[in-house]
Amino acid sequence: MATFEVGDTAVQDRRTLTVAALGTMLVLVAFTAPLSTINATAASLHAGVSGTTWILSSMSIGLAAALLSTGTIADDYGRRRTLVIGLLVVAAGSIVGVLIPDVVAFVLTRVVVGVGGAAVIASSLGIIAHTFAPGPARAAASGVWGASVGAGIAIGPLLSALLERVHSWHDAYWVLAVACVILAVAAERLVPESRSEHRRGLDIPGALLLAGGISALLAALVEGRQGWIEPTVIILFAVAAVVLALFILVEYRSPTSMLDLALLRSPAFVAATLAAFVTGAGVIALMSYMSGFLGSALGITAIGAALLLFSWSATSVVTALLARRISPRVPGRVQLAVGLIGVAAGLLLLTGIGESSGWARFLPGLIIAGIASGVVNAALGREAVASVPPGRGGMGSGANNTARYVGSAIGVTVVAVIATHPRSGAATAGLIDGWNIAAVVTATISLIGGLAVLFAHTRVRPAVPNPTVGPGPG
């Protein structure tokens, strides 16, 4: 039982927000930790090209497969409880992953860490939606949550690179595990429990079908790098299509569906979900590949690569905090669209790289993309919970972040295929040409996504309220 005692409401709310934001930050630290040390990690685990792609994509699989389910669990069975369990799963998975020197074991534990991270992210936004009423207070809290996303992305690669230089790439995962355990204890003591008044019920068939379908899809994308017409790849795509179609059918008929399909007719829900997907498939995908590229093609050290990533992610943190000052009269979809178009501009500036390019060549594009990413992150946290019925903040968070990490896994694979496709000439020149093409592709994805979000309201009919969802307190 929690030892929290009711005191000053403002203090209580700040403590709750701090724990929720730190939990999200630690998940993003776990997500980005391999980025700056991917070459050392792959070499230590004797991972080939396919194994390296799996290392980068594996946590996305766990996140994408479990976010909707854990969002429902958080709403129904307790958001604090789900947050605490998620943190402990992240800690356990991180420790086991570095104790077994095998690439398959490491990939599997990264999937487990993704499942734990899904519980943390879904419950953290649900906690914020419950604690802060719609309006300026929730907008400010969502800005802090958005900043925590950028902070995790900033800290993960830098922490990993520094510890790898001092001792080993394993050390970042030990530090992460300790931090998760400490925060789990703090959450149990400081965060009051909350849940939806109208329990929706866990949709077990839907959860299993979604997890299986997404896992098959992402496995097909990763393995497709070895050849898109290989029997295994074709079978995986077919399985994914069938299972995801069954998921939609089950969700349509189930009274306890974890995703209300009527929301697909809601302009706000569609805009937020699409923006999250494009964020993953665009800027996150290119940034996930950047550190390995900088080391292999340009000879920039792991710490140098981490600092360049930091210039993007740290800028997004500052912008996300400042974005709460944006007038509430600015619609969320407009803020998302402007942010994504700004991301596209930043990514376009990362093209035209040559063999003589140094770290300074990347800074303008990274800073512009960072400013725009901060605008997007601040809006996503707010729109994820504002676009669903009251009391279903966990479901909104789960759907939004599922889209983000499915987009990330797809985007990482697409970028890797483009950037490492064999080309005539020297290997370094081929990598650089691949990078320039991948930057244009991800910029195009961001631009098209931004325009689609901006005009989503003209193409989507208003959602029909689901009578099974009660008002709830948040």
- The domain locations on the chain are 11-192+258-458, 203-257
Half-sphere exposure of 221 (CA within 13 A, CB side): 27
Higher pLDDT: 80 or 395? It is 80
pLDDT, tens only, 319-330: 888 887 777 778
Distance in Å from the first CA to the final CA of the chain: 22
Higher pLDDT: 417 or 229? It is 229
**In this structure, what token pair is assigned to residue 466?**
């689901």
pLDDT at position 69, please? 82
Of 350, 10, 321, residue with least CA distance to 149: 321
Quote the CA–CA distance of 36 and 39 in Å, as a whole number. Answer: 8
Diameter over CA atoms, the chain: 68
pLDDT, tens only, 276-296: 999 999 999 898 888 878 888
**In this structure, what token pair is assigned to residue 442?**
């991800």
Quote the CA–CA distance of 294 and 358 in Å, as a whole number. Answer: 9
Tell me the residue length of the chain.
474
Which of the residue ranges 117-131, 207-221, 337-351, 420-434 would you say has the lowest mean pLDDT? Answer: 420-434
**In this structure, what token pair is assigned to residue 37?**
């040390």
Whole-model pTM? Answer: 0.79
Half-sphere exposure of 143 (CA within 13 A, CB side): 19
Quote the CA–CA distance of 294 and 300 in Å, as a whole number. Answer: 5
Fold entry, domain 11-192+258-458: Growth Hormone; Chain: A; (1.20.1250)
Question: Please, are residues 349 and 364 in contact by the beta-carbon 8 Å criterion?
Answer: yes
| pLDDT tops 80 at residue 186 | yes
Question: Please, are residues 410 and 309 in contact by the beta-carbon 8 Å criterion?
Answer: no
| pLDDT tops 70 at residue 79 | yes
pLDDT at position 421, please? 63
Quote the CA–CA distance of 439 and 347 in Å, as a whole number. Answer: 6
The pLDDT confidence band at residue 4, using thresholds 50, 70 and 90, is very low
HEC profile for 118-131? HHHHHHHHHHHHHH
| pLDDT tops 80 at residue 131 | yes
Residue 186's Cα: distance from chain center in Å?
A: 24
Quote the CA–CA distance of 379 and 372 in Å, as a whole number. Answer: 11
pLDDT, tens only, 408-418: 878 887 887 78
pLDDT, tens only, 326-344: 777 788 888 899 999 999 9
